[in-house]
A and B are shown apart, each in its own frame.
Chain A
Amino acid sequence: MPDVASLSSVVTALFSGPLHPDAAHATAAMVPHYQPVPMPAPIWLLQVLLLVGFITHLIPMNVILTGGLVSAGLLGRSPHGTRFGNTLAAHLPVYLSVAITQGVVPLLFLQLIYGPLYYVSTVQQAWPWLSAIPVLIVAYYSLYGYKFSVKDRTKVGPVGYLLLSSLLFAFIGFGFVNMVTLMTDTAHWQEGATRTGWFLNVANPQVIPRFLHMWFGSLAVNGLVMGIYGLVFLKRDLAYGQWLIKTGAALYAVITLLQFGIGGWFLMSLPKAQMLAFMGQHAVATPLMMGSLATTVLSLVMAMWAWQTGKGLPMVLTQSLGLVTILGMIGMRAILRYINLASLVTPDLLPVKLQLDLLIAFLIIAVGLVIFLTWLIKTAWKGFFPEAK
């Protein structure tokens, strides 16, 4: 419900000249109201679900973002390259399906917890944001276009499909970075309130480095995923397995080295207060940053080892340390958002009325789903590898 006391002060401001002489002040006043309906669970639980959902979305999303490019880059270079390029390309539609499905979770909880900011941001860039839907469909069918064009996995198919999908996923990723930065970039809200739905937040210095950080990070993740395929094949086809580990480790190492520069650029692009939070002024953000840097360096050392030897152990260590780094970065991202939004919305103060029965139903179904998926994976595994125990 509107607060009448604050309304009267707004009315006074309304008729005393231009409404928003100070953009920062004005935009803070423009943060929409939450709905007058209680939150269905404590905010901490909703935040946890947001974070868990995001983690499960992140890996498959990274695979598909540049997976087509990685496949296209490997096809035709060597028999191993063509074999893996075709294998990854054939699996990309499934990764994409998982990425989309898991993307629903953070999208749901993001809208629930930060809805007022999320909707303001998306409405201002409505057309590019909405265009992600047809673009995603074209990219998806593009992946299937390649998959169903290749009958023999030792041959190179029409790589244009793969390149097109990567280009389209990059477009979606760029739109997403715009949306996320505009959520917190209230200074540009007035500028975006043009009603046309065409506003992009490219004037924000974070957008380009943030996008590049994500895009190159996806190449590194593809290196780690190659390593997983390598580990699977080590026992069945040693030469191929080692090649996968070496190539995956090399990809991870080179890109991660590059990421020090891009990550530094991204850090420098943050507003000073946020940047300093990672450089000594925040009790959690700083250690998390230091820890992530340390695990990144360690993972690089392990990746070099895997690159040289093609062995399984260093690849497992690279992947484990890489995963820890990713989790650390997700934590940093969450802190960054929290710091950014704290002055605009305080979801922690919203009324809560726990929907216990529905929550219990959700948990029971979740357990049922885990059991079902276990059965399903076993069934599929037996189908594809009947000789496996």
Chain B
Amino acid sequence: MRHGKYPFIIGFLVVPVALYAIFVVWAYIQAFYLSVYEWSGLGPVENFVGLGNFRKMWDDTLFWQSIKHNVFLLIFLPIITVILALIFAFLLNVGGGQKGGVTRGVWGSKVYRIIFFFPQLLALAIVAVIFGRVFGPDKSGMINGLFPESWQPWLFLADERYAMGCILVVLVWQAVGFYVVLFSAGMGNIPTEVYEAAAIDGASRMTLFFRITIPLLWNTVQVAWVYLGIAAFDAFALVNIMTVDRGGPDGATSVLSLMIYRNAFEFSQAGYASALGVVLFFLTLTFAWVTLSATRRESVEA
């Protein structure tokens, strides 16, 4: 039997590994290679510039602006989403207190669970178009339409100060449902005895949340944090579709992924776009590493 083991395993692995190597690993290698060339995206790649593209990036104010916006999302997207999702998941699962020895969610929690998940079913492009209308800058916009006629309309995406905030709101709206489900699943794994014991000791719902739910859910939260962080490095679809002048007004919503796309496909600067891609690659990697090592702590075995 033993001698047949390796061909069996290899047989399973060869196709996915080959696909991964060709379409992911090779693409990475190409991006690294192209990032040291000045290349329009057409014709032969021959003009080696070393770190020239990176130097250009250093002097590019739009690059720093984009980094700033990515960092803004990186800080606020995970925090807000995780907090909201935790609160909702707690309410849906435990918030209703106990009845007959079983912890339950608040009244109607099954319906809420479905509603929360709805945004996840919509393609991001559709979400972007819908929110483009929600944030409409004149009275035809959904939010502005709610205000009295005499009010000056809020410009939302057309105002440099709020544009990035609007993007954040949409990202959170879209993500929360998924993490509610994720955390719900995690909470389902927490034995009810633990809650019971705490409840018998007279713990309030607050105490249950902070002393039992969060510690026992820590691994899931950590994963959610990394996922959301990576999503914060993206935000391409929303920015591309929703914002004024794509990434505007005047660069106020530009993000790295949009810069990469525009340089590669619109400005014929594939080399520069690759260099931006390389930077994004390292930023994402660094973020994941920092998050995972900073949040590492003994997971509480239930």
Decide whether A and B assemble into one complex. Answer: no
Which residues does A use to contact B, with CB under 8 Å?
none
